[in-house]
A and B are shown apart, each in its own frame.
Chain A
């Protein structure tokens, strides 16, 4: 059984009288431990697709099974636990909580699975170490560079030992040097920790890091190739 399996996903947004068909029948299987890059022109439905995979949104039609759980049959707030245990998110805009230290940001997911305070601290520190930021634990987000903020976000996505990381243009706001840092980190997480990583990008250089490349156009998957 695949870790991620979608069958014929459709997503239609209705804005006033206009219907936007963001996804038009997408079927994909992703196995444990894969590193997948998703590319495609702007508006082709990449983010829409990833939000559904990440259990943040639901398809209009079709079926999605995540690690044996039929997501389409479960309501979104019930999926909070699934997101917490199985999924880590890394966003283009980092999405850290301001006025809250790096360490506390990383601790956050564990508050919601009721990890005891001392254990939280310990695991958050470990995760920060894994991304090389233990020295910055008590810095606020606005005291960190973009690359560092993104690494804090990655630490946050690791801390609950979720097997999957979704990253929507994680290097979109970063310069080349910081992008390389972040991509090296993803590669390590994939190779050493066996994390399944699905990453959206516009840059072919970034897609190079992945082992599989899926391309979208007009809400449909147009190519899906595994590198040798």
Chain B
């Protein structure tokens, strides 16, 4: 049985390779379709994985306070998020940390290298909120914060890059032409929220970031923050605490009891929703491309198999004369269609893996992760396309009578 299948398979491969160009053109649709499917699955599972990573890193105890990106039209003059909000939030029972958060990039020069690093302007609460640890040196002092001091705490990798293995504490770095004194170096901490990578970034006092540095930091009001990172002590009370925070921020913003919030308080769940929404658009796009390409590819396979059946009618007649049953003939053309689409599938997988790697390397907002199951699934898709669209031509071949097939000119 396996012997028979192998012979049938060999015959198929031979028939396909007799028309290499035709086979290549035919399987192009499948190639693109499978590549799209595999990238789609990778984006899906990558999003899943990055969610899980964030979850395990920060737990579910983190809340984010910020201005909504799509503001309700009825709110005419929304208040910025400022230190007043930070202070109000800190007074809420159950909140263990509330850190101001403003992010931007600095140009940093060392030796002959010039690069841009991520900067997070904040205060010492960020350590409590994200549970970050120092490797050496110290955190900002109250005095440094209130006096707009030009001090910086460097991430693990960036400190190593700039100062090699020498301890950076006490040294000076030039950010955007302005000298900063390094007062601390972080332990290896990894990703913070919103794509900020602490290992490659630096912390400075929010005051310095906001006022001293005139580098086009976002909002017009010099006191406004991007957001506030809030940590709550007990996850089980998170809903109560959210209500309390909302009320206290509404107070500082002096919002009428019937007015709408001019801010947004996100918890882990809304964060997940957002990330999913971002990757969903991409997934839908890829899904549509995949489906259309597989459809086009499938029709291509069907077309070429119909041509092949016609071209090889005499061969079918010979095979029937020497003992092939209708089922044998059908199997042969099905295997051939499947082989054709699986070759396309394999090329598509290679292409898809390549595209996924490029996406993963170049985009932080769309995490992509390759998995064995996505390779298997997309391969199965190509095989299924072959079977589905190869069935009709194969069936047509099997319905020929030996004598008609043999007489065919």
Contacts and interface: CB of A to CB of B under 8 A. Distances in A.
B400 to A, nearest CB: 10
Given A56-B403, A112-B319, A160-B323, 17 more contacts: A51-B403, A56-B320, A56-B406, A80-B323, A80-B324, A80-B328, A81-B325, A83-B322, A83-B323, A89-B321, A97-B318, A108-B319, A112-B328, A113-B323, A114-B3, A116-B3, A120-B3
A97 B320 CA distance: 12
Interface string B296-328: 000000000000000000110111111111101
Nearest to A117: B3
A63 B192 CA distance: 88
B269 interface: no
A139 B322 CA distance: 21
14 contacts: A56-B406, A57-B401, A81-B323, A84-B322, A91-B406, A95-B314, A107-B7, A109-B322, A111-B4, A114-B4, A116-B3, A117-B3, A117-B7, A120-B3
A38 to B, nearest CB: 17
Contacts of B315: 97
Contacts of B11: 100
A54 B406 CA distance: 13
Interface in A65-81: 76-77, 80-81
A151 interface: no
A129 interface: no
A91 B3 CA distance: 28
Nearest to A55: B402
Interface range, A side: 20 to 34
Interface string A25-61: 0000000000000000000000000010010110000
B18 interface: yes
Contacts of B319: 97, 108, 112
A173 to B, nearest CB: 16
A99 B18 contact: yes
B8 interface: yes
A129 B268 CA distance: 79
B6 interface: yes
Contacts, number: 73
Nearest to A112: B323
B322 A89 contact: yes
A221 interface: no
Contacts of A114: 1, 3-4
Contacts of A56: 320-321, 401-403, 406
Contacts of B7: 107, 111, 117
B128 interface: no
Interface string A93-115: 00111011000000111011111
Nearest to A89: B321
Given A57-B401, A111-B7, A100 B14 contact: yes
A156 interface: yes
B406 A112 contact: no
A56 B403 CA distance: 5
B16 to A, nearest CB: 12
Residue picked from B14, B323, B324, most chain A C-beta under 10 Å: B323
Contacts of A115: 3
A112 B403 contact: no
Interface string B378-409: 00000000000000000000000111001000
